[in-house]
Amino acid sequence: MNEDEERRRRSGEPAWPTDEDHRKRREEPQERTGFWSPSWDDDGGGSPGGGARPSASKPAWPTDEPADGGRTRHVPVPPRGQQTPGRGAPRPPAGPPRGGRPGGPPPGTPMPGGPDGPTEMLPKADPALRPEPALLTHREPALDEAVDAYDSGPESRELPALTADDKRLRRRRIWRRVRRTAYAMIAVMIIGPIVGFFIAYQTVDVPTPKSVADREGQAITLLWGDGKTVMTKIAPVGSNRKMVEYKDIPQNVLHAVYAAEDSTFETNSGFDITGILAAAYNQATGGVGGGSTITQQYIKKASENEQHTLTRKALEVVKAYKMSKTYDKKDIITAYLNTIYFGRGANGIQAAAQAYFGVDVGKLTTPQAALLAGMIQGPSRSGDQAYVAKRWNYVMNQMVANNWLSPAERSAAQLPKMVDKSKSKTKALTGDMALIQKRVLQEVEIDLGMTEDDIQRQGLTIQTTIDRNAQKYAEQSVKEVMANEPKNLRPALVAVEPNTGAIKAYYGGTEDYDYAWAIQEPGSSFKPFDLVALLKQGKGLGETYDGSDGRKFPGRATPVHNAGPNSSCGKDCTVALAMKRSVNTVFYDMVLNTTGVKPVVQAAQEAGIPKQIPWGDAHDDGSYTMKPLLNEPDGNISIGGGKTQVRTLDMAAAYSTFANGGTRRTPHLVSKIFSADGQLIKQFNDDGTPAFSQDAALNSQIARNVTESLRPIPESSHIPCDKPHDCAGKTGTQQFQDGNTAANANQNAKAWMVGYTQSISTAVSMTAQKNEPIVNGQGKPIYGSGLPGHIWQSFMDKYLKGKNDPAWGLYVPIGKGASEAPDSTFTSTQSSSSQTQSDTTTTTTTRKHGGGGHPGRTTTTTPTEPCGFLGCPTSGTTTTDPPQGGGGPGHGTPGG
């Protein structure tokens, strides 16, 4: 074996056949494709597989394994476009067999010539035969040689700039698409409503006037607190009337209603396109309503749908149109006037004529008819004189504009006088029960967002919280104590159950004005809230202050005085003794220098004094104007004066928080509400809220400390509860002021007694009907321990009789505890006609009504309490007529 063979044997390189073909293969550039490429490069370099390109001098010899470790070698093919040699032409050197490497002899065939014999030359492959690439599944199309292999497509080419004509054509095509889309949308907007209108017209039903009138006649049922006994049934005014006919309605009434609501009623098709557009605009911009015709209003009334939506408006239009085609105009206006709500509980024109003027519809004058027509838009505002006058003027002017009234008649007309509302409305209840009825309906309006008309139309059954016996005891107590007293005095009483917040008794007077709802200065009955603010700072009943009379404080031009024969308690007066004697200087000092004013306001609100209350009459939608309380506090809040004003209801509720161990519950008159078919609509539930601290133990401890300070007061005021009941409470008095300080130095305007056990919290207030001092039958000033105290005592004894009140829990002092013994001489030497714990009186402005107290059941001495607080500053008086619907008499500085 020669050296070359030995080298090839060692390297594993196959030996070339002995008849080497020395013809050079024409070198052509090779084309690479996506899935296959030649196994070697044309430049003689290594192939991608790592093999070497064979040459004429070193032909490749087939072996079992390729030299590159098993990777398949691909045979190069001629470039595209090269012609295959024709028949008889010289053939190129033989290459590997088609399909890859050269094939070997069949298995088992011995090598010719023996093991050491020469290898027989294999036939050479025709280079024109292109082997099939191993990974190709299809034949690639031939690409034109002119194609740029690096051309990435149209994006890389610069398009020719558009000409002006091209741009114009493009714009035309765009606008053509926009126009066609707009036309399609407009067609849908026009055709769609028409189709919808036609379908709705065929399917909707128009209610008959009789069915609507029958529904309006449902009564409201009020139940006592037991949920079984009927308190009263409230039937709408005129519910038992016969519906008026068209011939009974005067022309001036028809014209007034047309002028107010729909001047084109006689000619329109049931709806007004202007009103519809107004409704759509208001809906889109967040406004409310639109101009509805009389027919549309009737449909809305009949369908009981007050929602301000376009869907409701659309159905209303369809029904109105159908009604105008189904009924005569006379039938429609008659149905409308027999069912529309005019306010004052009056449904229908006949009931309205009686409610406002006490006459039948046939006797209404033109000014009266105009007033009634004007109330259709705001029926709940009949008590608002400014609104009534504005609407009346509008209707009268519209009648002139439509030639239904001459200018001369308009000039001569005057706003007609309405009959008193209390006399015009058919009341199911009278006296103090009528006020309960009013407050119950108001609570439903606020809680459910309903109007008075809604409540009447739905015929609700309302279970109240009023205990029938408790209400009887309240009436009896007032009647007994006030039997021989001046008739100008106006007492009020509210009793609240501490563990539920349910109002068990409510006495606001026997007239239309509700004195239990009126705001008044509470005087010294507000001092427990000063104590709460102190306790929350960790200071207790054993803290001492200078209780001297006539003390001066920074920022005040006049000294602060105490009141009563025991007007001072020394330089080191404990808070406990100051509470018992109602020492003004101690509490003024405490609030000014220790707690601050705002913490006192916070304490009062935490206990249950609301931040705001419903004020005046309800608006058209059933909502109320809200009046803030305690929003302008000053130093006078320390003794319940100045601008400190609350309701009798509020004080009963706030003291009930002390009785309930610091857990506050919302006072309420409504327990459950049922629909006309007996389904429960709402049930009042109040789990209670910790009032003074989220720490349950501390919260209860604060309330218990307040109770401890108030326990001695009923006894020392000669108005204790019958044994074994242990009552706690506080009196209060407000001084009367009309600018004449000297003449009214010992006169009072308001008086209070508020007290409780664990089962009931009761507040009693007293004021005068006009802006005048409150005096008893003997002409003596009234204090909290007097008439108010005796009413309170009488009610508590009656209510608590036979009831078992648990004993107060263990008293654990906060801070420094009180250690002094009760001052027995303080109470034993005083007559029942004198307020011994000093219901201090201070000066401020008072409005029309005052509050007061009574000297006692036996009058033996004259009260000697001086003016006392803040040097009795003068202030002007206010109007004598109380505001309707919520405001109360007076605003002044406190007493004791």
Selection from 609, 639, 638, 616 nearest residue 838 by Cα: 639
Report CA torsion sign: 647, 652, 658, 661.
negative
Q: How far apart are CA 327 and CA 88, in angstroms?
A: 113
pLDDT of residue 621: 66
Give CA–CA dist 119/268, Å, rounded: 119
Q: pLDDT value at position 312?
A: 56
* Residues 476, 471: Cα–Cα separation, whole Å: 9
Side-chain half-sphere exposure of 192, counting CA atoms within 13 A: 7
DSSP three-state, residue 730: strand
Closest alpha carbon to 596 in 539, 558, 663: 539
Number of H helices, E strands in the chain: 25, 20
Consecutive H or E run containing 544: strand 544-545
C-alpha closest to that of 219 among 36, 56, 386, 461: 461
What tokens appear for 322 in the block? 């159908």
Q: What one-character-per-residue DSSP string does 119-180 give?
A: PPPPPPBPTTSPPPPSS-SSPPPPPPTTS-TT---GGGSPPPPPPHHHHHHHHHHHHHHHHH
811 exposure class (CB count in 10 Å sphere: 0-12, 13-18, 19+): middle
Active site residues: 261, 524
| Among candidate residues 198, 320, 322, 219, the one with its CA nearest the CA of residue 271 | 320
How far is residue 439's CA from residue 441's CA, in Å, rounded to a whole number? 5
Q: What is the pLDDT of residue 171?
A: 87
Give the domains, in start order, of the chain with CATH numbers. Answer: 1-81+91-136 (no CATH), 236-424 (1.10.3810.10), 482-665+679-820 (3.40.710.10)
Query: Comparing C-alpha atoms, which of 736, 652, 664, 740 is closest to residue 702?
Result: 664
CB of 334 within 8 A of CB of 246?
yes
Report the candidate in 755, 569, 737 with the shortest Cα–Cα distance to residue 655: 755
Question: What number of other Cβ atoms are within 10 A of residue 815's Cβ?
Answer: 15
**Token pair for 210:** 């009789």
For residues 607 and 664, the answer to whether their CB atoms sit within 8 Å is yes
**Three-state DSSP state, 310:** helix
The DSSP secondary-structure symbol of 430 reads: -
Q: Are 224 and 231 in contact (CB under 8 A)?
A: yes
| 550 φ/ψ sector (left φ>0, alpha ψ -120 to 50, else beta) | left
**Per-run averaged pLDDT (10 residues), the chain, 896 residues:** 61 53 49 45 45 48 48 50 52 52 56 57 61 57 53 59 84 89 83 66 63 69 95 71 83 95 80 62 54 75 58 66 76 86 84 91 96 91 90 97 96 93 61 90 88 79 97 98 95 98 96 93 97 97 94 84 76 95 94 96 97 83 85 91 94 98 97 93 92 97 98 96 96 83 78 98 96 92 96 98 92 84 35 36 34 35 32 32 34 42
Burial class (CB in 10 A: 0-12, 13-18, 19+), 159: exposed
DSSP 442-484: HHHHHHHT--HHHHHHHT-EEEE---HHHHHHHHHHHHHHTTT
Against a cut of 0.75, is the pTM above it?
no
Beta bridge partners of 869: 842
Burial class (CB in 10 A: 0-12, 13-18, 19+), 316: buried
Give me the pLDDT at residue 464, please: 98
Q: What angle do CA 395, 257, 382 make, to 5 degrees?
A: 65
Per-residue tokens: 142: 């031939």
Spatial contact of 524 and 840, defined as CB atoms under 8 Å apart: yes
Between strands 612-615 and 680-683, the pairing is: unpaired
Indicate the SS3 state at residue 283: helix
* Residue 578 and residue 551 in contact, taking contact as beta carbons nearer than 8 Å: no
Instruction: Name which of 825, 569, 532, 817 is nearest 703 in CA terms.
Output: 532
Report which secondary-structure segment, H or E, holds 341.
strand 341-343
CA dihedral (872, 876, 881, 886) positive or negative: negative
- What are φ and ψ of residue 183, in 5° steps? -60, -40
* Confidence at residue 579, expressed as pLDDT on a 0 to 100 scale: 96
Task: Give yes or no for a contact between 319 and 335, defined as CB atoms under 8 angstroms apart.
Answer: no
Tokens of 295: 């027919």
Q: What is the DSSP string of 841-883?
A: -B---B-S--B-----SS--S-------BTT-----B--SSPP
Closest CA to 867 of 740, 767, 775: 740
Q: Pick from 747, 793, 742: which is nearest to 771 by CA?
A: 747
Angle between helices 597-607 and 648-659 (to 10 degrees): 80
Say what the pLDDT of residue 329 is.
Answer: 85
